[in-house]
């Protein structure tokens, strides 16, 4: 099953009388259960691509199908529903709510999705045990290490059983040991059948990801899952 499919995706930003073209005719598909790394220099379009994949931004042109739906044409309300149910986000900065416990942080997406309390607790307890945080349920984010904070964020990203997990530099704020542990967790999730797309600038991490897509000047110039590298085409 194809989880996401981009075709001819472009993203332009007006800058006065000029147009800044950030993404240029990006074609990309990811199948269920794939683990894909997205790499590229600063300004290559990684963040813009991630925002479009996560339904946080819209393409200027092109089509985007996520979990079988054409999301590029949805209005804001429908896009928000797709985003909350089909995408799990893991950020470099964790984005935990400091006033809520570990358990309550993981419950947040289910609360907004009106899942009943008993089911919320059951799902969250199971996930937190699977990421090694069963003993930290009542702790608050300031009481956690960086690795524990990121594992909490990963559990929160998974709690809605999303079709796609998007990760933006998830080890960027961690020490080496914690980063290795978090990366090992992502590989375990991949082994369990999760579909993961991870943006990283870390070449060591990228080498450990089964499929790597490289962006340069807004174009896909390499896709290790699609055969030989492709040369950048000159702009018409």
Q: Residue 106 belongs to a domain with what CATH number?
A: 3.40.50.300
Q: Is residue 79 part of a domain?
A: yes
Q: Which domain holds residue 20?
A: 2-223
- Cα-based distances in Å from 122 to 64, 109, 130: 34, 14, 13
What's the confidence (pLDDT) of residue 113? 86
Give the number of residues written for the chain: 236
Q: Is residue 234 part of a domain?
A: no
When divided into structural domains, the chain yields a total of 1
The helix/strand/coil state of 128 is helix
* In contact, 205 and 183? CB cutoff 8 Å: yes
Which pTM does this prediction carry? 0.91
Q: Is residue 230 part of a domain?
A: no
Residue 231 lies in a domain: no
Residue 233 belongs to a domain: no
Does some domain include residue 162?
yes
Q: What is the pLDDT of residues 165-211, one digit of tens each?
A: 999 999 999 999 999 999 999 999 999 999 999 999 888 899 999 99
């Amino acid at each position: 099953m194809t989880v996401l499919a981009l075709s001819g995706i472009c993203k332009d930003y007006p800058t006065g009388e000029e147009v800044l073209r950030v993404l240029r005719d990006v074609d990309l598909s990811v199948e269920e259960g794939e683990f894909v790394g997205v790499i590229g220099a600063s300004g290559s379009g990684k963040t813009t691509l991630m925002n479009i994949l996560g339904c946080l931004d819209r393409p200027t042109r092109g089509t985007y199908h996520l979990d079988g739906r054409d999301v590029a044409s949805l209005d804001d309300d429908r896009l928000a529903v797709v985003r909350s149910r089909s995408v799990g986000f893991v950020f470099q900065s964790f984005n935990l709510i400091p006033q809520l416990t570990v358990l309550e942080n993981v419950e947040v997406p289910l609360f907004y999705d009106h899942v009943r309390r008993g089911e919320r607790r059951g799902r969250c307890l199971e996930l937190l045990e699977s990421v090694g945080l069963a003993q930290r349920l009542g702790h608050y984010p300031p009481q956690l290490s960086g690795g524990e904070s990121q594992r909490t964020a990963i559990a929160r990203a998974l709690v809605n059983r999303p079709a796609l997990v998007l990760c933006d530099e998830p080890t960027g704020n961690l020490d080496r040991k914690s980063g290795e542990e978090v990366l090992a967790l992502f590989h375990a999730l991949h082994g369990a059948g999760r579909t993961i797309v991870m943006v990283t600038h870390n070449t060591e991490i990228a080498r450990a990801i089964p499929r790597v897509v490289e962006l340069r000047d807004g174009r896909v110039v390499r896709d290790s899952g699609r055969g030989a590298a492709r040369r950048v085409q000159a702009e018409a």
